[in-house]
Amino acid sequence: MADLMRPAWAAIDLAALQHNVKVIRKLAGGKRILAILKANAYGHGLQRIAQALSEIDAIGVARVDEALQLRNAGVTRPIVLLEGFFDASQIPVLAASNIQPVIHNLRQMKELSQVDQLGDTLKVWLKVDTGMHRLGLEPDQVVSAYQQLLDLPQVNDHPVVISHLACADEPEHPQNERQIALFASILEQLPPSSTSLVNSAALLAQLAPQYDWVRPGLALYGVSPFATKTGADHDLKAVMNLRASIISVRQIKAGEAVGYGGYWIASEDTYIGIVAIGYGDGYPRHAPEGTPILINGNIYPLVGRVAMDMVTVNLGRRLSVKLGDTAELWGAKLPVERVAEAVGTIPYELLCNVARRVQLDYQ
């Protein structure tokens, strides 16, 4: 058994990914899909996920280095840089690699207009702030910015006009209606253009017209953006199964303490399992007592402090777990949404934080 023991790994279920794409395609009703793969494809591995999504129309990332990593890996599909270029020096790099920046402020407009000797022209996306107040031009700047971009010799096509909803994960929130109406009124002032508004939550809730491009991130990975739901409620399947081996099982007497600080004290005689995963792997250090961990089909509570390489689990008085068994920290049988709820965070953070030392096994 010992030779089968491994520290933390994540089994990445590519069949589940393909299933989720089908569900998304149906919801998208024939619109094009910009798959959001930033932050290492939400922890699932940028390159392999991009390669697995070979039928997807385009890929969205947040950083130039993520886009270049994909180009270097031979990915030829359109890549959209969601925050655009951070500095004018990046513009020729984007043009040379056919990476499409989102233009979201006047500084980027100016830098783009001033760059010369661009060997290749750029396709750009134009972001308008309809109420999130994070990125995007003001609604009254959009018409002239759109025209300026059209007139620039550096730009080769009509910009795709996009915005982002602040409250799509709360479908009843009045902010959604306001943003959707404002986006529609801005589009009325522009020549017919390609457009994009919805993320996973807006798509799953069918909150707004899909426009020409839908932009799912979380749903691709089989996870629900809604606080009270899991992916299964939308017929989605979890892609990441985060696992680790039980590397020690020990008997603890009532009154004995476990782990750093000794703050968890057994109230009765019990067995404790030591799982080979910790905050060094991205498992949240602040996970409280009772955070669920699945072993052999049963949920056990985490006890004691999360350490860098280990967590401790209360296996109870009657032992049905042995050294070398596998624990699931989240995945198909223990939704990451439930773990996020126990930890007081969102599933996005848990997935993105999975550390590079966690081996990704593609299945």
Ligand X SMILES: Cc1ncc(COP(=O)(O)O)c(C=O)c1O
Residue 281: which of 2, 3, 6 has the closest Cα?
6
| Residue 159 touches ligand X, criterion: CB under 6 A | no
121, 92 Cβ separation under 8 angstroms: no
82 binds ligand X (CB under 6 A): yes
* β-bridge mates for residue 258, sequence order: 264
Catalytic member of 26, 110, 260, 322: 260
- Residue pair 219/26 in contact (Cβ under 8 Å)? The answer is no
Q: Nearest-CA neighbor of 221 among 351, 361, 339, 350?
A: 351
# residues near ligand X by CB under 6 A: 12
When asked if residue 199 is in the footprint of ligand X (CB under 6 A), the reply is: yes
**Residue from 123, 164, 234, 237 that binds ligand X (CB under 6 A)?**
164
Length of the chain: 363
Specify the residue, 199 or 270, whose C-beta has the smaller distance to ligand X.
199
Q: Does 41 help bind ligand X (rule: CB under 6 A)? A: no
Stated as kind and residue range, the H or E segment containing 361 is strand 359-362
36 or 103: CB nearest ligand X: 36
Which residue in 36, 61, 95, 128 binds ligand X (CB under 6 A)? 36
92 in contact with ligand X (CB under 6 A): no
Stretch that binds ligand X, among 50-58, 195-203, 244-252, 328-336 (CB under 6 A): 195-203
CA distance 269 to 266: 7
Closest approach of ligand X to the CB of residue 174, in Å: 20
Interface with ligand X, residue 103, by CB under 6 A: no
Binding region for ligand X (CB under 6 A) out of 9-17, 210-218, 252-260, 351-359: 210-218
Q: Return all residues near 249 (Cβ < 8 A) that are at least 6 apart.
A: 271, 272, 273, 274, 315, 319, 321, 322, 323
Binding residues for ligand X (CB under 6 A) = 36, 82, 164, 199-201, 215-219, 225
